């Protein structure tokens, strides 16, 4: 095959021939496994007097200097429905994609293919002016015009850095979620991209994410975008995502919704998480109760440090905030606390009640956010426990959430959201 590298715009609309006899024109290219990093082209779609016909790629004999395509045999099979294959022209040209490395939404103007390893593969997307001019048949004009501009912004994106906004063929395209390209983005970057899209496109992007990645992004979205997405992605999926969010963020989101919608979402969650969130939603957002998360590690006073460390290793994957350990009794009354450093420095046989700090700084659930932040700053804490009037442990407010709560809105808009993600439950040792 003489055609080893080029753009599909160079071939679309060109004549297709059999032994120099025209039989039609190239209309499109088919890709059967679009989830590959550099997917192979399965064949061409030829527009003939009899309709659209599929020409397998191994029947492509040559491409001349004018872009005309010579086939070894005439295509007889009808082109498959668009619902079953990825059509490069119909499905991707002029469509929005996420440039994962550039962290932005762009539009495909042309697609580059190349013969690698004996197969014609999709290797890059052209998102620049040159691709658009090429499709308009202004290649030579484009070269002259662009050369006068000096430095031209990068316009070629390697295909393994491309994440289509939507799955073209949901019944056949099954992207491995953990390896999905969108998951490579930082949650704040992913949230920025989602915020740039239309409601339909944003819902499509969320549809391509696993629940945990979607939850990370949701925690960085503005309230209006979150509410719109909750409506667009359906109750069951929305509930799954909210369950993966930090408890305080999940409660904030639910508080933004009408009570009827809250009830629908809570009914789809497991009973334990739903119960926690119902309690959290009751507190005003600008109080310790509204800021607190239930992701904390509690321990009983009779354990040894060795047993506690062993237990922490077991729960580490499900609890991200293990800077402090909170000591409680059987009724969840807060007895004391100790830092992870104190635990590690203690003798293996030491009992927790002998090394814990008993004189603790705490806040009440209705303590104003500004006072919570002031307390954390005054005592140089990473988190402060929230207890009720009976001394029962309710949760903790972390330093980052306290800062978020008091930060002026105009400053918050200028800064990337760097909150660490926590899970909506607490762990016991």
Instruction: Give me the mean pLDDT over the 173-197 stretch.
Output: 63
Domain spanning 297-428: which superfamily?
A: CBS-domain (3.10.580.10)
The DSSP symbol for 322 reads -
Q: If pLDDT is split at 50, 70 and 90, which confidence band does 151 have?
A: very low
Please tell me which residue, 108 or 330, carries the higher pLDDT value: 330
The DSSP symbol for 314 reads H
What residue ranges of the chain are covered by domains with CATH 3.10.580.10? 297-428
The DSSP symbol for 357 reads B
Sequence-ordered strand ranges (E) for 267-350: 297-299, 324-328, 334-339
The b-or-e profile of 261-280 (16+ CB within 10 A means b, else e) is bbeebbebbeeebbebbebb
Question: In whole numbers, what is the pLDDT of the chain averaged over residues?
Answer: 80
Alpha carbon distance 102, 196 (integer Å): 15
Instruction: Give me the mean pLDDT over the 403-411 stretch.
Output: 70
What residue ranges of the chain are covered by domains with CATH 1.25.60.10? 177-282
pLDDT digits (tens, 9 = 90+) for 10-68: 888 889 999 888 999 999 999 877 667 788 888 899 999 999 999 998 888 888 777 78
pLDDT digits (tens, 9 = 90+) for 107-145: 788 888 888 777 888 888 888 776 667 766 655 444 444
Q: What percent of the chain has pLDDT over 90?
A: 32
CATH number given to 177-282: 1.25.60.10
Hey, which residues does 24 pair with through a beta bridge?
16
pLDDT score of 416? 47
Instruction: Give me the mean pLDDT over the 214-239 stretch.
Output: 89
């Amino acid at each position: 095959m003489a055609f080893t590298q080029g753009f599909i715009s160079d071939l679309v609309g060109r004549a297709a021939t059999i032994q120099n006899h025209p039989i039609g024109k190239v209309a499109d290219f088919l890709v059967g496994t679009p989830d590959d990093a550099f997917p192979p082209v399965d064949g061409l779609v030829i527009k003939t007097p009899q309709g659209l016909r599929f020409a397998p790629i191994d029947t492509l004999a040559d491409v001349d200097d004018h872009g005309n395509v010579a086939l070894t045999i005439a295509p007889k099979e009808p082109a498959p429905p668009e619902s079953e294959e990825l059509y490069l022209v119909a499905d991707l040209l002029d469509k929005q994609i996420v440039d994962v490395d550039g962290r932005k939404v762009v539009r495909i103007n042309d697609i580059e293919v190349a013969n690698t390893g004996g197969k014609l593969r999709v290797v890059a997307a052209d998102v620049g002016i040159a691709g658009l001019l090429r499709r308009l048949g202004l290649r030579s004009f484009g070269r002259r015009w662009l050369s006068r501009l000096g430095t031209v912004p990068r316009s070629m994106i390697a295909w393994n850095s491309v994440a289509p906004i939507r799955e073209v063929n949901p019944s056949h395209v099954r992207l491995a979620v953990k390896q999905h390209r969108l998951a490579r983005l930082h949650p704040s970057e992913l949230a920025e991209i989602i915020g740039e899209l239309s409601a339909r496109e944003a819902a499509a992007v969320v549809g391509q994410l696993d629940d945990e990645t979607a939850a990370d992004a949701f925690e960085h979205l503005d309230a209006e975008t979150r509410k719109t997405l909750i409506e667009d992605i359906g109750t069951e999926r929305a509930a799954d995502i909210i369950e993966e969010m930090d408890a305080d963020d999940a409660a904030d989101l639910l508080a933004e919704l009408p009570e009827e919608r809250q009830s629908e979402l809570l009914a789809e969650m497991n009973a334990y998480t739903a119960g926690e969130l119902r309690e959290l939603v009751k507190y005003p957002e600008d109080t310790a109760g509204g800021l607190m998360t239930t992701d904390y590690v509690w321990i009983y006073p009779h354990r040894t440090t060795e047993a506690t460390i062993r237990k922490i290793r077991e729960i580490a994957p499900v609890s991200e905030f293990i800077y402090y350990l909170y000591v409680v009794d059987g009724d969840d009354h807060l007895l004391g606390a100790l830092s992870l450093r104190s635990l590690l420095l203690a003798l293996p046989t030491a009992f927790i009640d002998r090394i814990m700090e008993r004189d603790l700084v705490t806040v009440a659930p209705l303590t104003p956010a500004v006072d919570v932040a002031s307390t954390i700053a005054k005592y140089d804490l990473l988190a402060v426990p929230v207890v009720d009037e009976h001394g029962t442990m309710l949760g903790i407010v972390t330093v980052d959430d306290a800062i978020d709560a008091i930060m002026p809105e105009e400053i918050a808009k200028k800064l990337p959201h760097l909150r660490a993600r926590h899970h909506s439950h607490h762990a016991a040792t």
